Amino acid sequence: MCPITNTNFSYSKTLMEFPVDFIRFLTSATRVVVLTGAGVSQESGLRTFRDAQDALWAQYKPEDLASPEAFARDPKLVWDWYAWRREAIKGVRPNPGHYALVEMENRIPAFTLITQNVDGLHRFAGSRNVLELHGNIQRVRCAECGTFTETWGDDTESVPLCVVCGGMLRPDVIWFGEALPRAELEAAVKASRSCHVYFSIGTSGVVQPAASLAYAARNNGSVVVEINAEPTPLTSKVDFAFHGKSGEILPDLAKAVWGV
């Protein structure tokens, strides 16, 4: 199905039109998968993880904050970091890229949105078939018994405790070294293996197993597309790569394909 390999485009509103082949594939595609990463939320004002100047990980080592070992070593530090991120998300709104993906879902019969983001902005925008591979920062559960809780205090001297068993509460996100939710991962793999077009958007593509989904799609003959501010390790393997902001490219794409 792939006509052209490794065609890269620097996106610019004035200089570029989407390639005719690409528009044709998208227009006729009935099964589409989109994988998103932190870059999709960047234009909403949230920081990404690995971009040099403005990245969360530039200040903190991931293993110091986002792992079971880190939580065992210093639970309050980890709790406070997530509380700070949760606070940063409050008041943040989806951007035009999120809404363009809703428009896509409205027009494509089988549309699966797989996200590594824990910010919940896709659902906030109106996306329905969303697989949250890395959990959701707004949910909190007991680290011991797994009970979810709706209320807790962030300004306590120590990590809030579970009312059921007294264990420490933690965010319902996936930490380094933890398994992804099985049902979500299986659904993501299945959708990626059977889609006509696969998009990798705003992700550096270095965290597994999410990064491997593009290869699952490619090996099964789908057209693979990347939208990213910069080239990534995936760029040389895709059929079409558009470099620029997803909050600009996606709305223009929706307009070019469906006139919305």
Minimum CB distance to ligand OAD, residue 37 (Å): 3
Cβ distance to ligand OAD smaller for residue 94 or 247? 247
For residue 145, what are its two tokens? 């018994």
Cβ distance to ligand OAD smaller for residue 27 or 212? 212
Contact 175, 67 (CB under 8 A): yes
**Is 134 noted as a catalytic residue in this protein?**
yes
For residue 201, what are its two tokens? 């958007």
Of the residues 98, 122, 134, 243, which is catalytic? Answer: 134
Beta strands 31-36; 7-10: pairing state: unpaired
Minimum CB distance to ligand OAD, residue 103 (Å): 17
Helix (H, G, I), strand (E, B) or coil at 35: strand
Cβ distance to ligand OAD smaller for residue 3 or 177? 177
Burial label, 27 (beta-carbon count in 10 A; 0-12, 13-18, 19+) = exposed
SS3 string, 197-223, reads EEEEECCCCCCCCHHHHHHHHHHCCCE
Separation between Cα atoms, residue 124 and residue 219, nearest integer Å: 33
Cβ distance to ligand OAD smaller for residue 57 or 110? 57
Q: Which residues bind ligand OAD (CB under 6 A)?
A: 37-39, 42-43, 48-51, 55, 62, 66, 116, 134, 174, 202-204, 207, 228-230, 232, 245-247
Cβ distance to ligand OAD smaller for residue 3 or 233? 233
Minimum CB distance to ligand OAD, residue 162 (Å): 23
For residue 153, what are its two tokens? 């205090």
Minimum CB distance to ligand OAD, residue 73 (Å): 17
Separation between Cα atoms, residue 236 and residue 149, nearest integer Å: 44
Minimum CB distance to ligand OAD, residue 105 (Å): 19
* 7: Cβ contacts below 8 Å, ≥ 6 apart: 19, 239, 240, 241
Residues acting as catalytic residues:
134
